[in-house]
Chains A and B, each alone.
Chain A
Amino acid sequence: MTSPLLLAQGLRKQVGERLLWQRLGLELGPGERLALVGPAGCGKTLLLRQLAWLDPLDGGQVLLRGLPPQGWSLPRYRAQVAYLAQRPPVFAGTVAQNLAEPWTYRCHQGRSPDPERLLAWLDQLGRGPSFLGQDAERLSGGETQLLALLRLLQLDPVVLLLDEPSASLDGATTLKLEALLLQWLGNGDRALILTSHDPDQVQRCCDRQLELGP
């Protein structure tokens, strides 16, 4: 029995008068891939945001390798428990500038990007090096999602929290993206939580499901 990477216990979420969930727990070990399923509005996005500590906690606790987020200091916690929003925005500038921006943050100092790995990933997704020079604000919805995922993956997080990662992608690119994700997961102590409207994607990518009830 390996110790969990991410552990959440007794989570509680209330939005206004409405109780979304309480006593919610989850445990994620190395290599595990969890899908959050449930009807629209059941709080899948809010749970991912909660795990990324973007919202204040209504109750319960979250531990990464046994330490609460404050124990890591928040920027370093989020660099490891990385959240990708459903419609991620881009920064002004080119794709390359978008990929460079996080490396200017203090919590990534002392580490540096790996351009070769990035090009290999791009190749895997069917994009050439010219993709890097494109104006990020003029990318299509699908390409924006690819950019957003690469911007996150290059930082080598431990737990990926993906909210509908392929919502705007065509079928072929979706499969390439899934292959890249699975390959990335195989490289070390890593885990994945995702939400998807596509039951087939959940089948392909995840080994467990957590049902959020209404």
Chain B
Amino acid sequence: MSGTGALPISDGSLALSALLIGLNLALSSLLRLGLGRPLLLASTRMVVQLLLVGGVLEWLFRQQNPLPILGLGLVMACIAAVSAVQRTRRRFAGIYWNSLVSVLAASSLVTGLALVGIIRPQPWFAPQYLIPLLGMVLGNTLNGISLGLDRLMESLVSQRDQVELRLGLGASRWEACREPVADAIRVGMVPTINSMLVMGLVSLPGMMTGQILQGGAPAAAVRYQIVVLFMIAAATALGLVAVVLLAYLGLTSRDHQLRLERLRQVP
């Protein structure tokens, strides 16, 4: 990148930006919206997490060894896998493993291919490429997985009679569950597909904005963005299909039975 770097933000300016939230806090308490606590908590968490991450990244970017970098990637993937499950309304034994396996497989495959085959930094694990790319992939895969898992479990419960009717008529478990499975995958992909449809028209993605703020040429930033969006779409689709199929296998049996007693509702 040929940029000269963005203008640095001083501590005072940073505090000034917090005033914007302060305005909302005042409004909330005035109108008793009950927004104050969650907003304050979220803002504080955001600041603390980002400052911590800034420090970790400073240290990480000086590393020459791939191990700590890949280790951080693994931790990020685990957090994404757990958060994806935590937003669902039902659970079954093994749901966390299903999520972890799907997130890990999809994100490492897609990020790995992009690093080695497309962007080709030297060395391939260069953290200023690997970590942010992986982060963007994980953030989106997480959303897809959590939407798809939730939808699959809800449809199997609400369409239980239909599924069992098909089984009773001689359908295999796949024939009986194909509709809910396809529906769950479709729902999980909606945000990704929607965001690609309006990309550049409604939203300027954060990474591209960042590169332009850094003084990068918009044309180059756009190219990066295209690669990243393809990575996101590919990883989301892969992770989503994997997790939905694993959950489908977990909630049916080899005897072509629907095993919804394995589901329990999150209180």
Contact between chains at B165 and A85 (CB < 8 Å): yes
A76 to B, closest residue via Cβ: B170
CB distance from A11 to the nearest CB of B (A): 16
Chain A residues near B255 (CB-CB < 8 A): 53, 56, 69-70, 74
Segment with Cβ contacts to B, from A99-107, A164-172, A202-210 = A99-107
Chain B residues near A107 (CB-CB < 8 A): 170-172
Contact between chains at B161 and A75 (CB < 8 Å): no
* Complex CA distance for A20 and B175, rounded to whole angstroms: 32
Asked if A108 meets B161 with Cβ closer than 8 Å, knowing A53-B255, A53-B257, A56-B253, the reply is no
* Complex CA distance for A91 and B169, rounded to whole angstroms: 12
Chain B residues near A54 (CB-CB < 8 A): 164, 167-168, 257-258
Contact between chains at B170 and A75 (CB < 8 Å): yes
Contact between chains at B257 and A152 (CB < 8 Å): no
* Complex CA distance for A88 and B162, rounded to whole angstroms: 8
Asked if A89 meets B256 with Cβ closer than 8 Å, knowing A102-B170, A105-B171, the reply is no
* Complex CA distance for A163 and B253, rounded to whole angstroms: 24
* Complex CA distance for A81 and B166, rounded to whole angstroms: 13
Chain A residues near B253 (CB-CB < 8 A): 56
Chain A residues near B168 (CB-CB < 8 A): 52, 54, 78, 82-85, 152
- Total contacting residues, chain B, CB less than 8 A: 18
B175 to A, closest residue via Cβ: A105
Q: Which of A54, A85, A108 has the most CB of B within 10 A?
A: A54
CB distance from B169 to the nearest CB of A (A): 4
Asked if A75 meets B259 with Cβ closer than 8 Å, knowing A85-B161, A89-B161, A89-B162, the reply is no
* Complex CA distance for A69 and B254, rounded to whole angstroms: 12
Contact between chains at A78 and B169 (CB < 8 Å): yes
CB distance from B9 to the nearest CB of A (A): 57
Q: Which of B170, B172, B256 has the most CB of A within 10 A?
A: B170
Given contacts A54-B164, A74-B256, A105-B166, 7 further A-B contacts (CB under 8 A): A76-B170, A82-B168, A82-B169, A89-B161, A102-B170, A105-B169, A105-B172
Cross-chain pairs A/B with CB under 8 angstroms, 14 sampled: A53-B255, A53-B257, A54-B164, A54-B168, A54-B258, A56-B257, A74-B257, A75-B170, A75-B171, A78-B167, A78-B256, A101-B169, A105-B175, A107-B170
